[in-house]
Structure 1
Amino acid sequence: MQQEYTARAERIMQRIQQLAAISDDPDGVTRTFGTPAFVAGRDLVQSWLEAAGLPTRTDGIGNLRARLESPNPDAKTFVLASHIDTVVNAGKFDGPLGVLMGLDLLENLLAQQVALPFHIELIAFSDEEGVRFHTTYLGSKVVTGAFDPALLGRCDAAGISLDQALVAMGGDASTLALDAIPAAEWLGYFELHIEQGPVLWERNVPVALVTAIAGQQRVELTFRGMAGHAGTVPMNMRQDALCAAAEFVLTAEQFAQVHGRGLVATVGKLAISHSASNVIPGEVTCSLDLRSPDEAQLAQAYDYLRSHAEAVAGHRNVALDWNLVQKTAPVTCDAGLNALLAQAIAASGYETIALVSGAGHDAVPVSFVAPATMMFIRCYKGISHNPLENVELADLAAAVAVADQFITLLRTQNPTR
């Protein structure tokens, strides 16, 4: 059996490499939502689905969907999914690995001519990263019925609206409501994903059980002071927006370090308007990304840092704009599916490691309508969103074995009935 799992892993890896060769950026992997490279990559994945004999379709938001039917037309639907969009200058595995492992699982079921007690739908979500329109989970929100039609008017940096982008990529906003799987028809959800963290790498274990996904709050802050000549405005009379931002950035780091317990705070963007070496910064915009698996802790951090930003603005005599861009609550994975996945990991001969995901995943919106579980796969030094992102063949083969066992247990035990 190990030889078979290795062969399957090799085929998945070959597909990963083929898909990674399609990019908007010739020097890296970039396939953001709706771009020519995204569409070409989706077409390639669709060709593999169709070659396997799976009925496929592209829905209104651009999700690629394939379905393996149960003989029972009234059966519920179990979803295997991940995303095929990327960040800019991405790695090869974040997202596509889960889709291509899902394809491998369906190919194996077809080869065995298994009569399923439930339908399986494999979905390659079109937008999870949210790079182009700053709207995460577009694909999965459509499938779960949570899509906000107001987003259709949102524009990208080039002034193209989401509605226009859908038309250009062959989508159709008028079908979005019909593309949802009704809550009553869901059996459950399983997402395979690289860990994007170093735990499995350091412990030399190929897979892990995800118990929860951290909640997130993303904020855009703008400090507005007064630009002035660097040589003529006295230090005690300045309204330096960058100094205000710098004070806030260090406090955000210190607060997360002190409070710990899974709380992380990141300022990843900083923009100085009309910057010059001899000009006092008059306007600075920065981001804040807060994450925690504890909803109360997340709210406490948000309130404290907002109050601190207001205090900094006050004592430095600058104005503050605080804009909450995104808010998602922490998610706990389904106990029944997690028990089954833990059983599959143990039966495959691996230590069962339970992890909380600090990264967001499409399992977040899905969890509001269906039982959801995730399995992490070891990646090189935990590096992700980076061209160095990598998965070793032996770890991938182990993950295939566990996923196979999980689907077998689901067919025979099905804790979500």
Structure 2
Amino acid sequence: MTTTTLSLAQLNAADEAGFVALLDGIYEHSPWVAAAAWPRRPYRTLAQLKRSLVQAVRDAGRERQLQLLRAHPELAGKAAVAGQLTAESTDEQARAGLGHCSPAEFGTLQRLNVGYNTRFGWPFILAVRGPRGTGLSRSEIISTFERRLDGSVEFEFAECLRNVHRIAELRLNERFGFVPEQGNQVWDWAEQLAVHSDPGYAEHGQLTVTYLTGAHRACAAQLCEWMRACGFDEVGIDAVGNVVGMYFGTAETETRGPRLLTGSHYDTVRNAGKYDGRLGILVPMACVASLRRAGRRLPFDLEVIGFAEEEGQRYKATFLGSGALVGAFDPAWLNQVDASGVTMHAAMQAAGLAIADVPELERQPEDYLGFVEVHIEQGPVLNELDLPLGVVTSINGGVRLVCEAIGTASHAGTTPMDRRRDAATAVAELALYVEQRAARDGDSVGTIGVWDVPGGSINVVPGRCRFSLDLRAPTDLQRDRLLDDVIAEADRIFERRGIVWQHETVMRAAAAPSDPAWQARWEAAVAALGLPVHRLPSGAGHDAMKLHERMPQAMLFVRGGNGGISHNPLETITNDDAQLCVDALAQLLDQLALVSSTRPTSEARHAAT
């Protein structure tokens, strides 16, 4: 295996044969990938080179892509046993411990290899060094193998190619002597923060952190500790539980101008992934740590907030953390009770929060340049495009309702079908309508994610059904038309079936188009890394949509692995993509610093917005 450190200057200066030779082994037995990337020189960044190689494969067509997959060896297969792997593959499988399989593990892998090849026609491909680059365990490899064996042909074909690119990325890093130090730090922080989880989930290895539980408060304390270690000048927890870190700029206190605000949330859904929300806190922390190490101050203050609540899991309220900053904390929420009967007021008191100070958290627009947020995409688009970063154009508006349908519980054997007042099937009919109606708009979405039959029994017609409605669309008008149609259809369905129903709106968030100037800054930051600029809307709600009510905002998305899945333990990113997030935010800060340092404060703010 090549050990000499390579440079972009060497690659750019090489003729085609030399270029291909320098990248030998990056793509397994496939020098044509490098040959296709050679005409695209010169390369300014390693990220640009990686993307060019990816594009070469994307442009190659199905048959050549299939040849590339078939060029890869099986995991712990016959070639590995016979010592016939390339040096790169030998090293990777060894790092994952595949040379030390127990007889049972080896037998399982052989069985899976045969089953996979029989079903798909190419070997199972997995970047066994994993998202951190340090190697997956044998149990992780086997469980991933078993899970993906049930995938569709088209998904597996694409997923194998994505893993080929990850393998190539790790090989390129070593060839260039590149270590994503800040990406590693962000990735490690996310792992360490995930140690804290609510009771009932922690025992099963599941991540759940809901508002002001013991795990939630432990996360806040951990973030505070890390922020101080990064070099923030002020760190604290505010009256709703937000973790607030301040890195001061160069101006004196009395002349300090508007500041830049960034951050995201640290609470989670139940049985969550490790990056939703939290990535947007950890990335700016890494940037501050870098600034502090360099002894550098920006010409503006940087405020990083870990919002205490965004998901609406413990109480029927969302955006508690960011909502407080825009004066949207509703005192009536304090009387809400959780599943254990604990009021929000009691939970806040137990956490030592100064509830009376919540109104003082409201931020004033004139004090801020804007708000930016880094977030995992929570969808498949970037993953399918093999793009690490995307620039958000708008956040969809959404509305959430909690509902209950009330019919009559009756004997499942003696109640004729035409005499039933079945609450659950009424909701099922509504669910089908929601699916059809949302699809009619093309870019609207509708979901019934909670479906509960209290005291349900196998031999009882459901008399009650509690359910949720989550409706989203890119404009408020489109969202409201969707809601009106769903409510009207629910009225018709339930009346026809003899069902009484009730509903309560627990969240209504306006659509939030990105500020053009701030979106352009993210675009310039992505382009500076040598990556294509891809623009996309956000179907998910984010803290940015609350801050949008008071100041200009724009978001950066990073792709998620495993098909882009989120709100799921399979949610994942790589250390290299985390590094690109840090680099992109650093680029944005540099852009803003250049504007701010060349203008008086008032002019700088005007230019920023």
* TM value normalised by structure 1: 0.96
Q: Which has the larger radius of gyration?
A: 2
Q: State the partner residue of 2:161.
A: none
Moved more, 72-81 or 3-12: 3-12
Query: Does residue 436 of structure 2 align to residue 254 of structure 1?
Result: yes
Moved more, 271-280 or 340-349: 271-280
Q: State the partner residue of 1:50.
A: 228
- The alignment partner of 1:192 has SS state of strand
Q: State the partner residue of 1:416.
A: 608
Query: Does residue 345 of structure 2 align to residue 195 of structure 1?
Result: no
Q: State how far apart, in whole Å, the 2-side matches of 1:109 and 1:154 are.
A: 42
Q: State the partner residue of 1:353.
A: 534
Q: Identify which of 169, 182, 192 aligns with 1:18.
A: 192
Q: CA deviation at 1:179?
A: 2.1
Q: Identify which of 277, 280, 294 aligns with 2:458.
A: 277
Q: State the partner residue of 1:141.
A: 323
What amino acid is aligned across from residue 306 of structure 2 in structure 1?
A
Q: State how far apart, in whole Å, the 2-side matches of 1:391 and 1:140 are.
A: 25
Query: Does residue 556 of structure 2 align to residue 375 of structure 1?
Result: yes
Q: CA deviation at 1:221?
A: 2.6
Q: Identify which of 166, 174, 182 aligns with 1:8.
A: 182
1:7-406 equivalences under 5 Å are: 7-24=181-198, 25-26=202-203, 27-54=205-232, 55-72=234-251, 73=253, 74-260=256-442, 262-380=443-561, 381-406=563-588
- The alignment partner of 2:399 has SS state of strand
Q: CA deviation at 1:4?
A: 7.4
Q: Deviations over 1:152-199 (max 9, x none)?
A: 121111111112111222211011112222222121111111110111
Q: State how far apart, in whole Å, the 1-side matches of 2:575 and 2:336 are.
A: 41
* Contact 1:217-1:290 at 8 Å conserved across structures: yes
Could you say if the C-alpha distance between residues 141 and 331 of structure 1 is closer, same or farther in structure 2, counting changes exceeding 3 Å? Answer: same
Q: State how far apart, in whole Å, the 2-side matches of 1:314 and 1:353 are.
A: 47
* Contact 2:261-2:370 at 8 Å conserved across structures: yes
More helix by percentage: 2
- The alignment partner of 1:356 has SS state of strand
- The alignment partner of 1:156 has SS state of coil
Q: State how far apart, in whole Å, the 2-side matches of 1:166 and 1:56 are.
A: 19
* Contact 2:317-2:506 at 8 Å conserved across structures: no
Could you say if the C-alpha distance between residues 244 and 40 of structure 1 is closer, same or farther in structure 2, counting changes exceeding 3 Å? Answer: same
- The alignment partner of 1:75 has SS state of coil
Q: CA deviation at 1:120?
A: 0.8
Q: CA deviation at 1:5?
A: 7.2
Moved more, 67-76 or 288-297: 67-76
- The alignment partner of 1:350 has SS state of coil
Q: State how far apart, in whole Å, the 1-side matches of 2:541 and 2:438 are.
A: 19
- The alignment partner of 1:244 has SS state of helix
Q: Deviations over 1:377-413 (max 9, x none)?
A: 1111211111111101221222222111111011113
Q: CA deviation at 1:245?
A: 1.2
Q: CA deviation at 1:323?
A: 2.3
Q: Deviations over 1:111-147 (max 9, x none)?
A: 2333422211111111111211121111111122221
Moved more, 375-384 or 43-52: 43-52
Q: Deviations over 1:212-248 (max 9, x none)?
A: 1011111223222222222333322222222211111
Q: CA deviation at 1:376?
A: 0.5
Could you say if the C-alpha distance between residues 8 and 274 of structure 1 is closer, same or farther in structure 2, counting changes exceeding 3 Å? Answer: closer
Could you say if the C-alpha distance between residues 331 and 140 of structure 1 is closer, same or farther in structure 2, counting changes exceeding 3 Å? Answer: same
* Contact 2:398-2:510 at 8 Å conserved across structures: yes
Q: State the partner residue of 2:28.
A: none
Q: CA deviation at 1:18?
A: 1.2
- The alignment partner of 2:392 has SS state of strand
* Contact 2:189-2:282 at 8 Å conserved across structures: yes
Q: State how far apart, in whole Å, the 2-side matches of 1:343 and 1:157 are.
A: 46
* Contact 1:60-1:172 at 8 Å conserved across structures: yes
Q: State how far apart, in whole Å, the 2-side matches of 1:145 and 1:105 are.
A: 29
Q: State how far apart, in whole Å, the 1-side matches of 2:531 and 2:190 are.
A: 25
Moved more, 279-288 or 376-385: 279-288
* Contact 1:60-1:171 at 8 Å conserved across structures: yes
Q: State how far apart, in whole Å, the 2-side matches of 1:185 and 1:308 are.
A: 46
What amino acid is aligned across from residue 51 of structure 1 in structure 2?
A
Moved more, 245-254 or 64-73: 64-73
**Moved segments of 4+, more than 3 Å:** 1-5
* Contact 1:91-1:384 at 8 Å conserved across structures: yes
* Contact 2:231-2:288 at 8 Å conserved across structures: no
- The alignment partner of 2:425 has SS state of helix
Q: State how far apart, in whole Å, the 2-side matches of 1:195 and 1:67 are.
A: 26
What amino acid is aligned across from residue 553 of structure 2 in structure 1?
A
Q: State how far apart, in whole Å, the 2-side matches of 1:271 and 1:362 are.
A: 29
More strand by percentage: 1
What amino acid is aligned across from residue 303 of structure 1 in structure 2?
D
* Contact 2:230-2:286 at 8 Å conserved across structures: no
Could you say if the C-alpha distance between residues 16 and 274 of structure 1 is closer, same or farther in structure 2, counting changes exceeding 3 Å? Answer: closer
* Contact 2:383-2:560 at 8 Å conserved across structures: yes
Q: State how far apart, in whole Å, the 1-side matches of 2:335 and 2:454 are.
A: 27
Structure 2 portions without partners, runs of 5+: 1-44, 47-176, 596-603
* Contact 2:312-2:319 at 8 Å conserved across structures: yes
* TM value normalised by structure 2: 0.66
Q: State how far apart, in whole Å, the 2-side matches of 1:341 and 1:213 are.
A: 15
- The alignment partner of 2:352 has SS state of coil
* Contact 1:5-1:400 at 8 Å conserved across structures: no
Q: State how far apart, in whole Å, the 2-side matches of 1:22 and 1:268 are.
A: 25
Could you say if the C-alpha distance between residues 37 and 200 of structure 1 is closer, same or farther in structure 2, counting changes exceeding 3 Å? Answer: same
- The alignment partner of 1:322 has SS state of strand
